[in-house]
C-alpha cells in the first residue's frame, strides 16, 4: 500500500487530497501501475491551475464525466491493455475505493480482488462489486 501512495504523488489532479494511485499485482509481481491524470497530450488541471469540478460545484463521487483526469484504476487497466499484459485474476491495490465506473471496468477486466486504503462516497460501486463476487477489502 505504501507504493500506491508513492504512485499517487505522480497525479496531475489539482486537488492534493484526490491524488490517487493504483497497482495491479498477480503472484506477488507488479503488472501495471496507474495514477489519476489527464489523457496524454491534454493539459492537466494542475497545469491549468484550476479544477473544473470545483468551478462547477460538483460534489465528490458525482458526475465523473466532468473531469479531465482518467482515474488511477482506469489508467492501470489501460496500461495492461496497451502493453499486452493479462490482468485476469489479479489484485488491484488502490489508495481510494474505486468509483462505479472503475468498478465496472474492474469487473470486465477480470480482476479478482480490490484492496483500498481510503473510503469514497459511492454506494453503487460497492453494489457492483457485491453483485460481481469480486472481493473488496479495506486495508488495515
The residue-averaged pLDDT of 97-111 equals 97
Q: Who's near 20: CB < 8 A, 6+ residues apart?
A: 8, 11, 13, 35, 36, 71, 72, 73, 94, 95, 96
For 10, counting Cβ atoms within 10 Å of its Cβ (0-12 exposed, 13-18 middle, 19+ buried), the class is middle
The pLDDT value given to residue 65: 83
The pLDDT value given to residue 70: 94
% of the chain residues with pLDDT over 70 = 100
3-state secondary structure at position 78: helix
- Report the alpha-carbon distance of residue 129 to residue 68 in Å, rounded: 25
The pLDDT value given to residue 63: 85
Tell me which of 7 and 68 has the higher pLDDT.
7
The pLDDT value given to residue 92: 98
Pairing, β 113-118 against β 135-138: parallel
- Residue 104 banded pLDDT, cuts 50, 70, 90: very high
The pLDDT value given to residue 90: 98
Average pLDDT taken over every residue of the chain: 93
CA proximity to 115, closest of 134, 131, 94, 132? 94
| DSSP 8-state assignment for residue 135 | E
Given the residues 43, 62, 73, 88, select the one marked as catalytic: 73
Active-site residue flag, 73: yes
| Each residue's pLDDT tens digit, 18-53 | 899 999 999 999 999 999 999 999 998 889 888 888
The residue-averaged pLDDT of 75-89 equals 97
Amino acid at each position: 500500500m505504501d507504493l500506491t501512495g508513492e504512485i499517487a504523488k505522480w497525479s496531475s489532479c489539482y486537488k492534493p487530497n484526490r491524488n490517487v494511485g493504483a497497482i495491479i499485482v498477480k503472484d506477488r509481481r507488479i503488472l501495471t501501475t496507474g495514477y489519476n491524470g489527464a489523457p496524454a497530450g491534454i493539459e492537466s488541471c494542475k497545469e491549468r491551475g484550476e479544477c473544473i469540478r470545483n468551478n462547477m460545484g460538483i460534489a465528490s463521487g458525482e458526475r465523473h464525466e466532468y473531469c479531465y483526469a482518467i482515474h488511477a484504476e482506469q489508467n492501470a487497466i489501460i496500461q495492461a491493455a496497451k502493453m499486452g499484459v493479462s490482468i485476469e485474476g489479479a489484485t488491484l491495490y488502490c489508495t481510494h475505493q474505486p468509483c462505479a465506473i472503475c468498478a465496472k471496468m474492474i469487473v470486465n477486466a477480470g480482476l479478482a480482488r480490490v484492496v483500498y486504503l481510503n473510503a469514497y462516497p459511492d454506494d453503487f460501486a460497492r453494489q457492483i462489486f457485491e453483485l460481481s463476487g469480486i472481493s473488496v477489502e479495506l486495508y488495515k
